[in-house]
Structure 1
Amino acid sequence: MRDLSRVLRPRSLAVIGGGAWCAEVIRQARKLGFEGAIWPVHPKAAEVAGEQAYAALGELPDAPDVAFVGINRRATIEAVAELAEMGAGGAVCFASGFTEALAEDAGAADLQAQLIAAAGGMPILGPNCYGFVNALDRVAVWPDQHGMRPVERGVAILTQSSNIAINMTMQRRALPLAVMMTCGNQAQTHQAEIAMALLDDPRITAIGVHIEGFGDLRKWESLAAKARERDVPIVALKAGRSAQARAATVSHTASLAGDDAGAQAFLDRLGIARLEDVPGFLETLKLLHVTGRLESNRIASISCSGGEASLIADMAVGRDLEFPPLTQAQRNALSAALGPMVALANPLDYHTYIWRDAPAMARAWAGMTGPEIGMTLSIVDYPHTDAADWSCATRAAQSVVEQTGRPFAVAASLPELMPEDVAQELIAGGAVPFAGLNEALAAAEAAARPVPAPSAPVLLPGQDEADVILTEAEAKAALAEYGLTVPRSCEVRACQAVEAASHLTAPFAVKGIGLAHKSEYGAVQLGIGADGVCEAARGVGTAMVLIEEMTTGTVAELLVGITRDPAHGFVLTLGAGGVMTEILCDTVSLLVPSDRTAIRAAFERLACAPLLAGYRGKPGADMDALLDAVEAVQAYVVANAASVSEVEINPLICTADGAVAVDALIRKASS
């Protein structure tokens, strides 16, 4: 961990360069209230933006705590080397043209290596970095306008996108932004390292990370561990959901996993909730700032419109949220507050009988809260014509929080109908002001995610090209050495099938050898008796055939596959198997290694889970044998991490007393 304390809370700021960007850094620093020394460095100017300029770094009164380096990329390397030599606290490297420009400039990587070497042990942010705003300590090292203002406590946001950072500082949602940090291309100081430094500040209530790529997985694991220890929630806005599945795949697993499954599995493993858009991201951070994590995903809603009650109920479908039936205690409280004219339910339409009577509204709204409810929402859209006319809602919400101490929110169905001043007043009273119902539900879902127990570090993959595909028999033999159960079989020339089958017990599966997806070529013959082996062997169309004993008593056919993901480790995909695998798309992804508890929970999330439990009086699968099979596949991958690229069992036949891999594929490097 590099020491970022001088960078984040500087007493002196050097601004190197003479362009408009550098002058703006000085203006923004003073505008936010920075009281430390500002030292422009310019070879010709006497002053920059009202501050005395120095012709060279060597003329500065002292080594700056942080420097904004706003000059071209080659000059940036020279300046960073001089700053490191003189003992500066760190630098923001504004220039672009390093590894982010590699596609256009083959020499960009070498320049980035030179920059890292020049910095030595001195922290640098970027390059291609806008800098940061620290509203807690009134520090802005930022070359543009922004919408932040001083705060006493609040959330921190880290992003690789300067433009998105600017946009988020302009939010009008009353979210108290404590720190906005851009990370650039993270040549030296990683996004997760910066977040770990921010966790040391008790004024930071939650952290949001906009991630384009993880980079060093170990740093993210360290961040998650520290956040768990400090009890500071982290949420993510992660790019990459729309990426196409890998083009060069052999197994069903790889095409099902795609590029994003590993990212999602990694976030799940770290306990970092993922949001789909900027509004939901900001509203989640707001909720976490006001209430912290929610105790459960059981929510309640109250509004004076049946339309709003129906709307929020429908919008929650597909989310991991529940509207539980009202308890007797809730019914008693609501009946006392509303009388007999209101049909009690959750979500609740309480009509307009008590509107404008703030104490009566508070009694009704409080009646929807309770120890079994993670958060209660009251739907209120403040009129832009005169929001003060509905101050009764604000007073009622504040009273509910004071009376119950339970998480409570006021949610506007239209984002623009939650005025910023009203939102600030609600936050001051301990209520969450949501700008938008969909955003409110996304935030509740994210804030209610349970914090996972610490897990083992993810298995890092090798880099060698996977240029060998084992035959089915070879793959099964390799996996059997790690405990996977496979059928008795033999691999022979088609003309020798009858003799080979005499040593096995019918019925048989007869399969062609050398084809990745045999069923697509008609190269699988099932249920073959001893007298049909010769004809079946000729029919599959390959010189060599695999004859194996069929497994009977099938409860379910599953897929168990692992693919190498260079960015996230090894993705373990579990799902419905057989020839319909890619049509059903009933899968869950984890990362290797995953323990038995996590694997069992993953199987329980599948749509086919009822088959495994025993459906309509039929026997269930042997779950211990199923978990043993997955652990065997994982064990093989762990032992061969440097070379293996894909492993797939499809199908894994699950019976009431076992789990048998009846097809297997392994792709690996030959070395």
Structure 2
Amino acid sequence: MVHTDDALGGDDLRAANLRRLLNPTSIAFVGGRTIAGAVQRCRDFGFSGDVWLVNPTHAEIDGIRCRSSIADLPYAPDAVFIAVPAAQAIGVVRDLAERGARGAVVYASGFSEVGSQGAALQAMLLDAAGSMAILGPNCYGFLNGLNGSALWPVAHGAARVDEGVAVITQSGNLAYNLSMITRTVPFAYLVSVGNQATVSVARLIDAFLDNPKVRAIGVHIEGLTDVHAFSAAATRALVRGVPIVALKSGVSKLGAQLALSHTSSLAGSDVLYEALFKRLGIIRVKDPVGLVETLKLLSIGGIPKNGKLAALATSGGDAGLVADLAEAHGIALPPVNAQGRASLQRLLPAYANIANPLDFTTTPWGSPEAMRVCCDALLSDMPGAAAMILDYPKESTGERPSCKIAADAFADSVRRHGITGAIISVFPDLMPPEHAARMAEAGIAPLQGLAEGVAAIGAAMWYGQQRKRIVDADALSDLHVLRAGRSTGTSRLYDEWDSKRMLAEYGLTVPVGELVAPTDAPAAGQRLGFPVCAKVVSEQLPHKTEAGAVALRLYSQQAVAEAVERMIQSVACYAPDVKVERILVEKMAAAPLLELIVGVKREEDFGLALVLGSGGVLVELIGDTTTLLLPVREDNVRSALLNLKVGPLLTGYRGSSSADLNAAVRNIMAIARFAEAHADKLAELDVNPLLVLKDGAVAVDALVRLDG
């Protein structure tokens, strides 16, 4: 079969081939007896296109006719599942490419995941594939719940859907287990990516965004092969309003364990992924259950309009638990409005506490009209989302009909008020699958587990607010991750004097000072005006405090002379190879209200990471830091500072004076501008501390290291 889009360029052709692979009209399975069952499973899943089995040694397997070769197929298939050993798979892929096949799943392991020999095989596989889309190798393949295609090696429990979520995972076993869950998650696609030889997580996100039936995307990743491509795909998802939910595993430290600057020890890989996800409006979850419950809410219930929740419970205990969990996730629980309160007072007994969350007691239980009034009274204030806490008893109790009445009334009220709705069972196993399915059909997300359910609502609200903030601020162009230069293997550490001079050119405020010989330090102090500080300046002493190379609050020439002598002796003991030839004498800054560390660390995948935190000599002990990826906006910096543990000091804590937040932000942006201008060679940068005063801010120490 001749491709109808042969005129497309390389990247466009690969994207088109990937779309055809994921949404095939014809499928071939290449392998032996173990794969023959996949043909029947594809039929059982409802796939209506052509399905063939290719095996060179058997005329039929389990009653299914075998084609002897790729050339023996009636025409080039859209999708092929290859279940042969790694070395043989290369030849099969080459035959498919020559025949004009669109894409293939390579099930075999033994490629780049096993070392250099496997990496060589994978390179040969890519060469054989040409413009074909190759999912894997070393993967389970995919399920398409929309058209029933199942390029999958084993049984699965997925159901056909009209729309739903697309889930991408690097773990084949997790993909298999996800396919077997009974949590009413509508899987439009379930994809195992394996080694991501040609089809990466980013390419899959792009492909799914082209399908309006995909309402949310879940990703389980151990690591990203291309952060920039992932950022571009996630930005596109944000524009289209398709939420991405991420489960990140395999956390490890990036770079050397012993780093030159404080910043290097503060910016680990998980911190960088966290910064990336927040920047792109990606919801992060901690475990697989959180992944599926959050996706379920987003795909069935939708994105809440705001951060307000109306909640109903069948007991005061459940209502109290909801209130605690909502507060932990930043969910607002607005009070019942006057009209709703009046309705509830007429309906409920006098002892009922009219509040949100509402314990509606047993009075309306079993009455469709009473439950409708109850739900409408609470939901009439147009919150962003509504939840009913409902655990279904065993069927043998005969009480499930009353549960159905309550759930139906809630679903009807949610629909009429046009808000996001969820039924949440406190205990996951007290949500019967048939009731969950009925709620899902009504557009109500059946969430299993109270903690997971409330967390899902909080995450969906955060996404809606984060997306609105980015879109309204026209900040989409700022979401790309700055590309940084790659390490040359050699770098130069600039001393404090040179580092401050370079940063000052970009707007960083530094103290007035002079760089002099040790014997000239007292006179320099006199010229600057006391009090002053004195420091040994040497590229070999990046951290001067430990070497005793700093003296503060010197009030006379004699004090400066004595301090210089002490520092010379201390450095001689601490670092005998360092010769003290220069002293930096600076005017002492006023007492700060807050000390900050501002650092930049280069990571070749993530670009440049800006680290902000509580500064000074105890920076690593306190560990109060946050990380942003460059480029960065002023509003991001301001928000990050205020969210630090020491953030309240910036706005006045317990009656104390407010620090100059605007000055802090200006100086941090100056550091960011320097970093962006030197992105091709900046290795790392520390300003510690940046003193934030009542009026102004000043950087009293700095370190810059550039490749060169």
TM-score with structure 1 setting the length:
0.94
Where do residues 195-274 of structure 1 align in structure 2 (5 Å cutoff)? 195-241=205-251, 247-274=257-284
Choose from 547, 551, 559 the match for 2:589: 551
Moved more, 239-248 or 6-15: 239-248
Q: Which residue of 2 aligns with 1:461?
A: 484
> Deviation string for 1:458-494 (max 9, x for gaps)?
1122221364322122211221122211112233444
Decide which moves more: 42-51 or 387-396: 387-396
Aligned residue pair count: 666
Q: Deviations over 1:311-342 (max 9, x none)?
A: 22223443232323333344234323324321
1:509 aligned onto 2:533: yes
The counterpart of 2:694, out of the listed 642, 648, 656, is: 656
Confirm whether residue 7 of structure 1 aligns to residue 31 of structure 2: no
Q: Please list the CA deviations of residues 636-661 of structure 1 after superposition, one character each: whole Å capped at 9, or x if unmatched.
A: 21122222221111111112332211
Rounded to whole Å, the distance in 1 between the matches of 2:553 and 2:606 is 41
Question: How far, CA to CA, are the matches of 1:431 and 1:242 in structure 2?
Answer: 39
Q: Residue in 2 aligned with 1:175?
A: 185
Aligned partner of 1:374 in structure 2 is 384
CA distance, structure 2, for counterparts of residue 49 and residue 258 of structure 1? 53
| 1:476 and 2:490 matched | no
Is 2:312 aligned against 1:307?
Answer: no
CA deviation digits over 1:12-37, x for unaligned, max 9? 212112151x2232232122122222
296-305 vs 385-394, greater mean Cα deviation: 385-394
* Contact 1:240/1:259, CA 8 A, preserved across alignment: no
Q: Deviations over 1:557-616 (max 9, x none)?
A: 112111112332211112222223223322222110011122122222223222222345
> Is the alpha carbon distance of 1:345 and 1:538 closer, same or farther for their aligned partners in structure 2, counting shifts above 3 Å?
farther
- 2:633 is the counterpart of 1:599: no
Once residues 305 and 621 of structure 2 are traced to their aligned partners in structure 1, the CA distance between those partners, rounded to angstroms, is 37
Q: Bigger shift: 415-424 or 26-35?
A: 26-35
Amino acid across the alignment from 1:26:
V
SS in 2 for 1:624: helix
Counterpart Cα distance in 1 of 2:338 and 2:615: 45
Question: Map of 1:93-108 to 2, 5 A cutoff?
Answer: 93-102=106-115, 106-108=116-118
CA contact (8 A) 1:69 1:93 kept: yes
* In structure 2, C-alpha distance between the alignment counterparts of 1:615 and 1:312, rounded to whole Å: 31
Q: Structure 2: which amino acid aligns with 1:510?
A: A
Contact kept, 8 Å, 2:593 with 2:659, in 1: the verdict is: yes
Q: Could you tell me which residue of structure 2 aligns to residue 17 of structure 1? A: 31
Matched, 1:621 2:659: yes
Match of 1:538 among 554, 560, 565: 565
Q: Relative to 1, partners in 2 of residues 1:549 and 1:19: Cα closer, same or farther, differing over 3 Å?
A: farther
**In structure 2, what is the Cα distance between the partners aligned to 1:156 and 1:494?**
67
Change over 3 Å in CA distance of 1:14–1:487 after alignment to 2: same
Asked if structure 1 preserves the Cα contact closer than 8 Å seen for 2:142 and 2:189, the reply is yes
Match for residue 203 of structure 2 among 178, 193, 201: 193
Segments of structure 2 that go 5 or more residues without pairing to the other structure are 1-11, 572-579
TM-score, length-scaled by structure 2: 0.90
2:387 is paired with a residue whose SS is strand
Q: 1:526 matched to which residue of 2?
A: 552
Q: CA deviation at 1:554?
A: 2.0
**Distance in 2 (alpha carbons) for counterparts of 1:463 and 1:320:** 40
CA contact (8 A) 1:90 1:123 kept: yes
Q: In 1, Cα distance between the equivalents of 2:444 and 2:327?
A: 25
> Which amino acid in the other structure matches residue 57 of structure 1?
I
Alignment correspondent of 1:491: 515
Specify the alignment match of 1:411 in structure 2: 424
Q: Distance in 1 between matches of 2:596 and 2:390?
A: 48
Q: Distance in 1 between matches of 2:615 and 2:424?
A: 43
Kindly provide the CA deviation profile for residues 121-144 of structure 1, in whole angstroms up to 9, marking residues without a partner as x.
111111112111101101000001
- Out of 457, 474, 488, the residue aligned to residue 444 of structure 1 is 457
Residue identity over aligned pairs, in percent, reads 39
Identify the residue that residue 407 of structure 2 maps to in structure 1: 394
* Contact 1:466–1:645 (8 Å) recurs in 2: no
Distance change (3 Å), C-alpha of 1:92 and 1:283? same
* Deviation of 1:388 (Å): 2.7
2:443 to 430, 433, 449: 430
Contact 1:245 1:257 in 2 (8 A): no
In the TM superposition, what are the counterparts of 1:117-128 in structure 2 within 5 Å? 117-128=127-138
Match of 1:36 in 2: 49
Match of 2:577 in 1: none
CA shift, 1:430, in A, is 2.4
Give the Å deviation of 1:45: 0.6
Asked if residue 644 in structure 1 is aligned to residue 682 in structure 2, the reply is yes
1: CA distance, partners of 2:623 / 2:600: 16
Shift of 1:200: 1.6
The AA in structure 1 aligned to 2:413 is V
Aligned partner of residue 481 in structure 2, secondary structure: coil
CA distances 1:364-406 after superposition (whole Å, capped 9, x unpaired): 2332224452212221111134473432222222232244332
Give the direction of change, closer, same or farther, for the CA distance of 1:371–1:264 in structure 2 (3 Å limit).
Answer: farther
- Kept in 2, the 8 Å contact 1:269–1:455? The answer is no
Task: Please give the alpha-carbon distance, in whole angstroms, between the structure 2 residues aligned to 1:533 and 1:327.
Answer: 69
Supply the distance in 2 between the matched residues of 1:521 and 1:316 (Cα, whole angstroms).
Answer: 50
Specify the code of the residue in structure 1 equivalent to 2:24: P
The CA RMSD measured in Å over matched residues stands at 2.1
What is the rounded CA distance, in whole Å, between the counterparts of 1:203 and 1:38 in structure 2? Answer: 24
User: 1:295 & 1:610 partners in 2: Cα distance?
Assistant: 29
Provide closer, same or farther for how the CA distance between residues 447 and 490 of structure 1 changes in structure 2, counting only shifts above 3 A.
same
**Partner of 1:280: helix, strand, or coil?**
helix
